[in-house]
Amino acid sequence: MKTVKFLVLGIVLIMAFSSFSSTQINSNRHHVSEKSIAPISSDTVLGVWKYKMTNVDAPYEKGVFFITKKGDSYDVAVKLTTGMLTGQDVLVKGNGINFNVNFEGLKRVSFVLVVEDDKIMGESYSAIGNSEILGVRQLPEQ
């Protein structure tokens, strides 16, 4: 009888210890570091973005986007070699931003951009045609 009681107690202890160790292994397997989680915030689009465009005339192929936020609204300014332009109808959703710019008076160009880490990419659409855009965030010097 003592032998049976000893075996049952041994089996219960082994089961208890093995359940603790398997729980620990499983919890470690599903651990996600905070650095790998992308922020789900519209503020990812904010910043200064140096960009290049394809399929456009020379004055427009390089420039800088300045994307800022005042209260609940976003502002976009586009710096070109020929001067500054102001974005209109700015819409930010998640890590994307859409806006329009009027070039040379009546020429309207629509921008559809997405931010991934420190890169901004997308396209512009106008009556003349489409253009691909690729840019990088300009970080302050340290």
- Rounded to whole angstroms, the Cα distance separating 141 from 37 reads 26
Paired with 131 in beta bridges are 124
The model's pTM is: 0.69
Q: Which of 25, 102, 95 is nearest to 110 (CA)?
A: 102
Question: Is residue 44 packed enough to be buried (19+ CB in 10 Å), middle (13-18) or exposed (0-12)?
Answer: buried
What pLDDT, on the 0 to 100 scale, is given for residue 141?
76
What confidence score (pLDDT) does residue 42 get?
54
Residue the block writes with tokens 């998640």: 94
Tell me the residue type at 133.
I
**Tens digit of each residue's pLDDT, the chain (142 residues):** 555 454 444 454 455 444 444 444 444 444 434 443 344 455 899 999 999 999 998 888 999 999 999 999 999 999 999 999 999 999 999 999 999 999 877 789 999 999 999 999 999 999 989 999 999 999 887 6
How far apart CA 90 and CA 137 sit, in angstroms, is 19
Phi/psi for 11 (5° steps) reads: -65, -40
Position 59 scores a pLDDT of 87
Kindly list the distances between the CA atom of residue 136 and the CA atoms of 36, 96, 115, 139, in Å, as whole numbers in the listed order. 20, 15, 9, 9
Quick one: pLDDT at residue 11? 54
Which of helix, strand or coil describes residue 87?
coil
Distance CA 95, CA 42 (A): 6
Residue 21, token pair as written in the block: 């160790």
